Amino acid sequence: MTTAVELQSITLDDQGRPIIAGTRFKVLILVREHLGLGLSPEQLIRQHEDLTLAQTYAALAYYYEHREELDAELRRQDEEFQRFMETNPNEPILRRLREKGLLT
């Protein structure tokens, strides 16, 4: 006989965004790095040394369980950033990102 164990590794912050329990680290940050940069869970914990491998896998599992909803949020964020870039082209942070070749 097996017993199911549920880990409460992901919670929602006061704005309803999924975060890693016990931290303020947003699930979508890891998702962007995993999907956008192709980083593996092992690479993610090297980038974020305060996270454990279990927390990283929990965040990715949460994403895949809520993929449609979180993909919609990622698109919304991308659209918001695009509008920001269009309406604030001379914003210092955008200039620095362009100088570093991170924005076109």
* Domains located in the chain, CATH noted: 10-65 (1.10.10)
The residues, ordered by sequence, that sit 6+ positions from 56 with a Cβ below 8 Å of its Cβ are 30, 41, 44, 45, 48
Pairwise pLDDT comparison (75 vs 2), residue with the higher score: 75
Give pLDDT tens digits for 28-43: 999 999 999 999 999 9
- Tens of pLDDT, residues 48-81: 999 999 999 999 999 999 999 999 999 999 999 9
Q: pTM for this structure?
A: 0.80
Q: Judge contact between 22 and 35, C-beta under 8 A.
A: no
pLDDT value of residue 102: 82
- Cα separation of 28 and 19, whole Å? 8
